[in-house]
Amino acid sequence: MRALAEFVMRGRPQAIGVSVLAAPLPLLHLLSTSVASLVLLRRGLPEGLLVIAWTCLPLAVIYTFSGDPGPIITLLGTAVLAHTLRTTMSWKWVLVGAVPIAGVGAWVFSVIATDLLDIWVQWYQELTGTMEATEGVENVRQVLIGFFAMGQAFVMLGLLALARWWQSELYNPGGFSKEFHQLRLLPPVSAVIVVLMVGCALSDIPELARWLPVLTVPLVMAALGLAHWAISYNELSTGWVVGFYILLMLVPQLVYPLLVAGALMDSGLDLRKRFQKE
């Protein structure tokens, strides 16, 4: 992966070539998003926008034939987050910004990809063995849009993290690890997120309830940073990292709430300082 980053940063033709060639390929379009974000992070917005514009061409063709705007939404959303990170030099603002950006992306998806969303609703009904009334179908649509927003937020942050890691490996070895290990939301930010989450959970309005999943993303990402810091601080092997993520994938219903709770606790108590004092 480092070799790919080195090749991309040799010049504009290399960056555009890799990004455009990867864009139309399944899953590799995610790699093109990280490539464009790396260029934006290192060389600024004008150069980054040039790579993004070229990358949008094959993605637009794919959307024309498949009706799936997801890759374009991911590319543009990640680019906004990359510009935010470059200008603020703060992952805290990136985590917070991921919520409205993913929310807007999900809304755009629901407007221009109605046929694909209907397929998802039908798949959900077949999976659960229920055939909802019109009102129930609309509720299902809102739930699916909410989880789409959450997924988009995680994907965009993950792709941006890959681009930042590339940048760190090439120009500031070890810098990304330090940034990620220090991820922590300030108490006022966490308090606002909790209030919004409670409001969404108690609301009977589907349009508000769909925001609940994506609101958890900043907390979970901050908790992941804390977990990586704890593993590094205690000088544990990479097997602990692998085991942690395997556990998260196997029992997300258990680990995910614990991550949210851990992030809230860290926000209020600053657990890193407390552990370092002991």
Encode pLDDT of 56-108 as tens digits.
Answer: 999 999 899 888 999 999 999 999 999 999 999 999 999 999 999 999 999 99
Q: What is the pLDDT of residue 66?
A: 87
Q: Alpha helix (H) ranges present in the chain? A: 2-8, 12-22, 28-43, 45-66, 70-88, 91-112, 114-128, 134-171, 175-181, 187-202, 206-209, 212-215, 217-233, 238-250, 252-269, 271-277
Cβ proximity of 94 and 216 under 8 Å: no
pLDDT of residue 277: 65
pLDDT score, position 133: 52
Flag whether pLDDT at 267 surpasses 60.
yes
Task: Kindly state the tokens that stand for 121.
Answer: 């609703």
128 vs 212: which has the higher pLDDT: 212
- The pLDDT assigned to 72 comes to 95
Q: How far apart are alpha carbons 149 and 152 in whole angstroms?
A: 5
Q: Is the pLDDT of residue 12 over 80?
A: yes
Q: Name the DSSP class of 69.
A: -
132-187 residue pLDDT tens: 555 567 778 888 899 999 999 999 999 999 999 999 999 999 999 999 999 999 99
Secondary structure (DSSP) of 215-238: HTHHHHHHHHHHHHHHHHHTT--H
Q: Is the pLDDT of residue 115 over 90?
A: no
What rounded mean pLDDT belongs to the chain? 92
The rounded distance, in Å, linking the Cα atoms of 232 and 226 is 10
For 6-15, 28-37, 196-205, which range has the lowest pLDDT when averaged over its residues?
A: 196-205
> What percentage of residues in the chain have a pLDDT greater than 90?
77
Q: What is the chain's alpha carbon radius of gyration, rounded to the nearest angstrom?
A: 20
Residues whose CB falls within 8 Å of the CB of residue 223, separated by 6 or more in sequence, listed in order: 259, 260, 262, 263, 266
CA–CA distance, 144 with 135 (Å, rounded to integer): 14
pLDDT tens string 21-33: 999 988 888 999 9
- Range scoring the smallest mean pLDDT among 174-183, 202-211, 230-239, 244-253: 202-211
